[in-house]
Amino acid sequence: MKQPTIREIPGGITAAKGIRAAGVYCGIKKTKPALSPDERLDLALIVSDRPATVAGVTTSNRSKAAPVLLCEQQLKGGRFSAIVANSGNANACTGRQGEQDAVQMRDRLARLLDRPPSEVFVASTGVIGQRLPIAKVLSGVREGVGLLSTEGGEAAARAIMTTDTCSKEAAVSFELDGQPVVIGGIAKGSGMIAPHLATMLCFVGTDAQISASLLRRVLRRTVDRSFNAITVDGCMSTNDTVLLFANGRSDTPPLKAGTPECDVFEEALLRVLSRLARMIVKDGEGATKLIRVEVMGTRTARDATVAAKAIANSSLVKTAFFGEDCNWGRIMSAIGASGIRFDPGLVEISVDQIPVVRKGLGLGTAAERRAAARMRRPELDLTVDLRGGMGRAVILTTDLSEAYVRINAGYRS
């Protein structure tokens, strides 16, 4: 098989065949008169014209929101018809009442679409610990069903935003057996946890034909390399959810595990998820820089991930990047405190390709000044080689600015 080209194309969740979406304002978000109706959308609907297979990954936070618990239950069935997702209220820490509200959202959409409730998914993002205004949400669902269209993906992307400063869409196209296949998705998130407004959400649809069990395996692997490899503030939300559905509308043959075709599909999916994950970091609360932290030379891949996350989550490393100060001692200290085994006397550190540490020793103030100049860039690489093995990991992170504190301290005031 000739290796097919994966092309990035415009659009998001409605890019693939047989998917309609809508975004409406139903009254959950506070109405700010200064905002246009488009800016305060708070309810998204996504519908597959024919039943699809589905796979999902949800937060491992033990304080799971009601829609997450419902979602986990529905995922066992592996069948998908639609998603209803609201922003402005996380429906988390809301007890039995919250569970009933999520079920009502599901049942209302199922009835309006004439699909089984077991194929309808619910997601929420926003304030923790407050009850949903369920009557408003249910009328919003009815209004949204009337607006469903293949052009509605952008409105749906906007309707799931909370502290996000921009909507997040990505799509790719490639050919299988001479037929075009599309994968498209939307995401929200401005921090692994956004302030009070908890949550990262991501919905992806494709017209490929693939079983739910294979979809699960492919999704798990690609999420590990995309959403599980980003951090803004090291906090995991109560609502994180990634849903991927496949409706087979491309008319390509069913994908089989271990075939070149399935590898192409996985590569294309990773492209979409990585682009969406990168958009979330880039839009991180108060972030002025996107930093790609690469750790190599560890004994195992897991050690590399542990070290890269220790660096990416260190408040001292992140404030140094904000201050554009090549303070490599903080990086050495973060790795040392991470718990992994390594020889500090072998460490090499480069900032955006400028070496600043070799054999565990600084290369002098001239090198640090050159590196500091690179730190002014909005996107840069931090490379750490522990020279003790073949382990390697990459984590995307942001700097830590005064604006992060301001956003998170001042949210309710």
Taking CB under 8 A as the criterion, the residue among 81, 222, 314, 398 binding a second copy is: 314
Q: Which residues of 129-157 are buried (b: 16+ CB within 10 A; e: fewer)?
A: ebebbbebbbebbeebbeebeeebbbbbb
Three-class DSSP category at 303 = helix
CA-nearest of 283, 278, 351 to 321 is 351
Q: Which span (32-40, 252-260, 296-304, 402-410) binds a second copy, by CB under 8 A?
A: 402-410
Taking CB under 8 A as the criterion, the residue among 325, 370, 387, 388 binding a second copy is: 325
Residues 235-264 that bind a second copy (CB under 8 A): 235-238
Q: Which span (76-84, 242-250, 254-262, 396-404) binds a second copy, by CB under 8 A?
A: 396-404
Residues 90-149 that bind a second copy (CB under 8 A): 90, 92-95, 127-130
287 binds a second copy (CB under 8 A): no
CA-nearest of 271, 172, 279 to 225 is 271
To the nearest whole angstrom, how small is the minimum distance from the Cβ of residue 307 to a second copy?
A: 10
Is 94 marked active-site? no
Stretch 42-81: interaction string toward a second copy, x if CB under 8 A = ------------------xxxxx-----------------
To the nearest whole angstrom, how small is the minimum distance from the Cβ of residue 316 to a second copy?
A: 5
Show the beta-strand stretches assigned E in 103-258: 120-127, 168-176, 179-188, 201-206, 241-246
Nearer to a second copy, 130 or 150 (CB): 130
Residues 267-286 that bind a second copy (CB under 8 A): none
Q: How many chain residues interact with a second copy (CB under 8 A)?
A: 64
Taking CB under 8 A as the criterion, the residue among 198, 201, 215, 264 binding a second copy is: 198
To the nearest whole angstrom, how small is the minimum distance from the Cβ of residue 332 to a second copy?
A: 5
Distance from C-alpha of 206 to C-alpha of 265, rounded to nearest angstrom: 10
**Which phi and psi angles does 244 have, rounded to 5°?**
-130, 125
Is residue 249 within 8 Å of residue 180, measured between CB atoms? no
- 179-188/290-298 β-pairing: unpaired
322 binds a second copy (CB under 8 A): yes
Residues 4-33 that bind a second copy (CB under 8 A): none
CB-CB neighbours of 411 under 10 Å: 13
Helix and strand numbers, DSSP H then E, in the chain: 11, 15
Set 199, 241, 298, 398: catalytic member: 199
Task: State the DSSP code for 131.
Answer: -
DSSP per residue over 56-81, as a string? EEE---SS--HHHHHHHHHHTT-EEE
Taking CB under 8 A as the criterion, the residue among 15, 277, 335, 384 binding a second copy is: 335
**Which phi and psi angles does 212 have, rounded to 5°?**
-60, -35
Binding site for a second copy (CB under 8 A): 60-64, 90, 92-95, 127-130, 193, 195-196, 198, 233-238, 314-316, 319-320, 322-323, 325, 327-330, 332-337, 340-342, 344-345, 357, 359-362, 400-402, 404-406, 408-413
Provide the annotated active-site residues.
199
